[in-house]
Amino acid sequence: MTPLKNDRFIRALLRQSVDKTPVWMMRQAGRYLPEYRATRAKAGDFLTLCKTPELACEVTLQPLDRYPLDAAILFSDILTIPDAMGLGLYFSEGEGPGFKKIIRSASDVASLGVPDPMVELRYVMDAVSLIRRELAGKVPLIGFSGSPFTLATYMVEGGSTKNFQYIKQFLFSQPESAHQLLALLAQTISDYLNAQIKSGAQAVMIFDTWGGVLTTRDYLTFSLAYMRLIVDRLIREQEGQKIPVILFTKNGALWLESMAETGCDALGLDWMLPIGEARARVGHRVALQGNMDPCILYAPPARIEAEVADILASYGVGNGHVFNLGHGIHPQINPEHVDVFIRAVHELSAPYHQANSV
């Protein structure tokens, strides 16, 4: 494979010296870009876009054609795994994802198997290989998955939810079945991410979108314990290069110390805790990724630049920071504001790394 021309992102995750803070955005290939909307229209529907490697590659690269980003992230969806497990994923206009089969009992869990990522999820691996080739070493490629608890939430609820009734009922009334489901998902996700790494992903991220709805006891039991299993099983070096692992729990600020002890390389942060406080708590154990409120991108350019400056100042001098939003970019964001954001990170962060270039 072609050597990286810009390895700033990988170096930051490994807490190595960089010339400026690297930046990328969660959901950077998305509906805020007119070129994405055009490709999505060409695909006809979202699942076809995800399952066609050439189209997934096209939209993955679109933000890199516009902005000086330091990483690309595979265009896919976290629910491809439950779909590969036979649940029958579908998307309804205006209602989000749904499944033809829902998991609510021990027999439902027993009916599930671990899919072969090179068979049922081959289209994802083909997309990873194609994207990596098309990037030609420009920037690293990030692979990803949802966490076991987040995927279980969708599988038990049958789609999106606001009150988490069925997943919590399942955890508390059928804990043995819940643990069986989570263990099965941990194995599936490990296989899936390792296949992405073998196909060309140069870093991987686990999105625990819903872990923050749990109590501390239940988060440690039903979410973090299974992410730790995945971290233990992941390939950490490929083609002679280290493969960093990022854990992200939305609304997970309570548990940063516990997350840092999993063996991951970096923690993703939402915008609820100043990044300087997070850094003080985890010390040098892990890098930090984050943590601007996506809604700041609705603001005028000067306000965006001021927010970037505040976050950089909060983190302070030194390595181990990847700048990102605290969650995915909103579809209504003006693409020109994204350009202001990305360029502000690079321009304003250089003084925090001057000792590295002396």
Residue 80 resides in a domain = yes
Report the distance separating Cα 128 and Cα 142, nearest Å. Answer: 9
Is the CB of residue 21 less than 8 Å from the CB of residue 312? Answer: yes
Domain that holds residue 342: 8-357
Determine the residue type at 83: D
Binding-site residues for substrate, in ranges, read 27-31, 77, 154, 209, 327
307 pLDDT more than 70: yes
Query: Token pair 């950490």 is at which residue?
Result: 236
pLDDT in tens, 250-302: 999 999 999 999 999 999 999 999 999 999 999 889 999 999 999 999 999 99
pLDDT in tens, 157-203: 999 999 999 999 999 999 999 999 999 999 999 999 999 999 999 99
Report the distance separating Cα 338 and Cα 149, nearest Å. Answer: 31
pLDDT of residue 358: 38
Residue 2 resides in a domain = no
Query: Token pair 């049922």 is at which residue?
Result: 120
Question: Which CATH number goes with the domain that contains 347?
Answer: 3.20.20.210
Q: Indicate the length of the chain as a whole number.
A: 358
Binding-site residues, in ranges, read 27-31, 77, 154, 209, 327
Is the CB of residue 98 less than 8 Å from the CB of residue 92? Answer: yes
Residue 226 resides in a domain = yes
User: Which pairs count as long-range contacts for 130-133, CB under 8 Å and 24+ apart, including other chains?
Assistant: 130/53, 130/54, 130/56, 130/57, 131/56, 131/57, 131/60, 131/61, 131/72, 131/74, 131/200, 132/1, 132/199, 132/200, 132/201, 132/202, 133/200
Query: Which band of pLDDT confidence, cut at 50, 70 and 90, is reported for residue 1?
Result: low
Please enumerate in sequence order all residues whose Cβ is within 8 A of that of 281, keeping only pairs 6 or more positions apart, or say none: 256, 257
Residue 3 resides in a domain = no
229 pLDDT more than 90: yes
Report the distance separating Cα 6 and Cα 104, nearest Å. Answer: 46
Report the distance separating Cα 356 and Cα 358, nearest Å. Answer: 6
Residue 48 resides in a domain = yes
Q: Domain tally for the chain?
A: 1
Residue 313 resides in a domain = yes
Q: What's the mean pLDDT in 26-53?
A: 96
356 pLDDT more than 70: no
The two three-digit tokens of residue 232, written as one number: 């233990």
Q: Which residues are catalytic?
A: 27, 31, 40, 77, 154
pTM: 0.96
